[in-house]
Structure 1
Amino acid sequence: MKKHTIAIVDDHLLFAQSLGTLINSFPDFEVAYYASHGEELIDKLASQGLPDIILLDINMPIMDGIKTMAWLQQHQPATPVLALSMEDNEEVVMQMLRHGAGGYLLKDIHPKELLKALQSVVDTGFYHSEIVSSAMDAEKAHKDNPDHITDRERQFLKLLCTEMTYKEIADSMNLSPKTIEGYRETLFNKLNVKNRIGLAIYAIKNDIYEV
């Protein structure tokens, strides 16, 4: 049976090669090629073809993971991407999700979770790692009917998926910061999520905000 191919995009060669050795030990996966930054990935996509999955680091020279993810969303939106980074910053996670990443993994994950993530991406196109799943009950959000969300709450959800701060959202909606805090807390309770990442994922998965 044909193995699923992986492209690893990471400027730390030793880590990338170690990761490649691990992936090649999985029965159903193999590394197609490596790239050390986004521009090199773009060149290899053209010369060596599309992999089944891209594992994408965030902090890289020349063209970092966020810029690369934005390019992929525009030019190769059907190719699944898993972010793989040491960064656990909420805003970085949200930027990658907004640009269409199918999941976000930390580099210290257990090999079994990596295999689970790769298989999930093959099967469903996405994987909710702990850093994402802790923000929300992913299964509940996927199945929930968003009809009980009010129009103003939907507007708030759309805006929080952007790079606007809560204060900027309040100004845009002509509301006080305290009212916006009230919307946020109400939605935390309604959707059973814990932070802005959870709200953003809910909005994306329920077509309130389109990536």
Structure 2
Amino acid sequence: MKTTLAIVDDHELMAKALSGLIQKYEDYDVMYEVTNGRELLNRIKLKMIPEIVLLDISMPEMDGFETALWLKNNHPEVRVLALSMNDKEESIVGMLRNGARGYLLKGCKPFELKQALDAIVQKGYYYTEFVTGQLIKNLNPEQNSSPAASLGLNDREMEFIKWACSELTYQEIADKMCVSPRTVDGYREAVFQKMGVKSRVGMVIVAIRLKLVDM
């Protein structure tokens, strides 16, 4: 049986192109295309519930953040794959916190979209190979030791992680922690090294999986 999808994107030409591409995939079927989150909600309330939602972020009426969070709270069985032109870390972090199972840029290759869809169906999530590798390595902290302790994270680094898992910029994090941006840079470098990640997104994924932060 084919996996059903809905495409939510206010650029109708993009939505049509995506739909045409996905319909060529043997294992997938596009149920419908809508231009914003509100329209998606209306379809879902009519019991037109897809298994995967391909979700843009910047849309009128109800954007991707709101839509992903609504799905997380009301239909957690629906898996969200974010697809956006926005490559800012804050946006990626925000979508992951709101329940997205993966994040793709619209400039990706067609095979990457197929790869992402397959991964979400088979594993439940899609991240880059590097981030996935780091995530798996950090899933099994030492027995009888908290994840923070096993990673060697101190209190200030844990505070930094908490703020970094929000949509705040690094400058805003420095203000919250009452330190200089240079000090925050030091926290970031130390945390990345201890977690074995190279990006804020990788850090957030590991923090969520190890329950270092409350969702």
> TM-score range, shorter-chain basis?
0.7 to 0.9
The alignment-based identity, stated in percent, is 44
Structure-2-length-normalised TM-score = 0.86
1:185 aligns with 2:157: no
1:20 is paired with a residue whose SS is helix
In structure 1, the partner of 2:103 is 104
Q: Is the 8 A contact 1:137 1:192 kept in 2?
A: no
In structure 2, the partner of 1:51 is 50
Partners of 1:167 and 1:47 lie apart in 2 by 44
Partners of 1:175 and 1:18 lie apart in 2 by 48
Give the stretch that moved more between structures: 94-103 or 173-182. Answer: 173-182
Question: Post-superposition shift, 1:56?
Answer: 0.2
Structure-1-length-normalised TM-score = 0.87
1:94 aligns with 2:93: yes
In structure 2, the partner of 1:156 is 160
Change (3 A) 1:210 1:50: farther
Give the stretch that moved more between structures: 177-186 or 163-172. Answer: 163-172
> Cα deviation per residue 1:29-50 (whole Å; 9 max; x = unaligned)?
0101111100000000111432
Question: Post-superposition shift, 1:165?
Answer: 3.9
Q: Is the 8 A contact 2:6 2:31 kept in 1?
A: yes
In structure 2, the partner of 1:76 is 75
1:204 aligns with 2:204: no
Aligned length: 205
Partners of 1:69 and 1:137 lie apart in 2 by 22
Question: Post-superposition shift, 1:171?
Answer: 5.3
Q: Is the 8 A contact 1:142 1:205 kept in 2?
A: no
> Cα deviation per residue 1:69-104 (whole Å; 9 max; x = unaligned)?
122222122211000111112211111111111111
Gaps of 5+ in 1: none
One-letter code aligned to 1:14: L
Structure 1 counterpart of 2:135, from 136, 141, 145: 141
Partners of 1:58 and 1:67 lie apart in 2 by 9
1:201 is paired with a residue whose SS is helix
Question: Post-superposition shift, 1:114?
Answer: 0.9
Q: Is the 8 A contact 1:142 1:206 kept in 2?
A: no
Partners of 1:71 and 1:119 lie apart in 2 by 24
Question: Post-superposition shift, 1:193?
Answer: 2.1
Partners of 1:172 and 1:112 lie apart in 2 by 42
1:137 is paired with a residue whose SS is helix
Change (3 A) 1:179 1:12: closer
In structure 2, the partner of 1:60 is 59
In structure 1, the partner of 2:124 is 125
Partners of 1:151 and 1:13 lie apart in 2 by 48
Question: Post-superposition shift, 1:116?
Answer: 0.9
Question: Post-superposition shift, 1:163?
Answer: 2.8
Gaps of 5+ in 2: 142-146
